[in-house]
Amino acid sequence: MTDSVLNSELSSQATKAHAYGKVDRDNLHDDLLSRLRDFIVEGHLLPGGRIPERHLCEAFHVSRTPLREALKVLAAEGLVELLPNRGSRVRQFTDKDIKDCFEVLAGLESAAGRLACARITDDEVAEIEQLHYDMYGHYMRRELPEYFRLNQAIHEKLVAASGNDALQATYRTFTARMRQLRYSANVLASDRWGQAMREHEKMVDALRRRSGEELATILFEHLLNKWRAAADSLEREDAQGS
């Protein structure tokens, strides 16, 4: 890649980052981390691509110190790779990485669903139902970022309702690592988006009835379907890039 092409690409990335707005100075670390994570998850930096620190500092109006601290957290989450004396890049997953992580997530969410049905309160069910209805509105308006955030919130609340701290900690590790792939699957597989909504309808119905085994099965298949969509999306990206 020539310097002119690289500079043009970095400038384009910085322009996209500007759309995320200035970070909250009173909550600098958490706000910057959240914005940078979303920026990567939503595909503005390609897997394997270098992270343009200077341009992102300008876009988010921060110095390099908090940006690099945020990158360290994202590296611990598995979204970013730190390169000794060479900055950082977005992690690029192998096919086996993707399959392995989604199989673990499927097992974790399945177990969480079974436990949640035995322990969840009526108020918690009502909260998940409201998130589902709000998510459906974003789906109808084709507002993918907003849809995706509520989708993730539903899964996180189901896992939290399991009441199992060890399960929740393991789940956070894997879901942070796989967020970009789950997002890209919805972007590139439009048929998958509708299928995912139908699966969420079934989830909420099973949860409402406290049907633990049914919800566990739905969640397991839901995650494996997401893996297949993510794998397909990567194949399409590879085909377009070749």
| CATH number where 148 lies | 1.20.120.530
Q: What is the pLDDT averaged over residues 46-68? A: 91
pLDDT tens digits for range 5-18: 333 444 444 445 54
DSSP state of 81: E
Domain end residue (candidates: 90, 106, 140): 90
Query: What is the three-class DSSP state of 162?
Result: coil
Look at the chain and count its residues: 242
Q: Is the same domain home to 54 and 112?
A: no
Q: Where are the alpha helices (DSSP H) in 19-62?
A: 28-41, 53-60
Smallest CA-to-CA distance from 204 within 139, 124, 106, 115 is with 124
- The more confidently predicted of residues 2 and 210 is 210
pLDDT at 184: 65
pLDDT at 5: 35
Q: Is the same domain home to 79 and 156?
A: no
Q: What is the pLDDT averaged over residues 92-117? A: 91
- The more confidently predicted of residues 182 and 212 is 212
Percentage, residues of the chain above pLDDT 70 = 81
pLDDT at 189: 56
User: Cα angle vertex 113, ends 30, 202, to 5°?
Assistant: 105
Q: Is the same domain home to 42 and 128?
A: no
Please give the single-letter amino acid code of residue 27.
N
Q: Is the same domain home to 68 and 113?
A: no
Range of the domain at 154: 95-241
pLDDT at 70: 94
Alpha-carbon distance of 206 to 196, in angstroms, equals 15
Smallest CA-to-CA distance from 215 within 158, 167, 168, 174 is with 158
pTM of the prediction? 0.70
User: Contact, 174 vs 108, CB < 8 A?
Assistant: yes
Smallest CA-to-CA distance from 222 within 109, 101, 95 is with 109
pLDDT of 102 over the 50 cut? yes
Alpha-carbon distance of 93 to 213, in angstroms, equals 32
Confidence of residue 239 (pLDDT cuts 50, 70, 90): low
Q: What is the pLDDT averaged over residues 198-215? A: 97
pLDDT at 153: 95
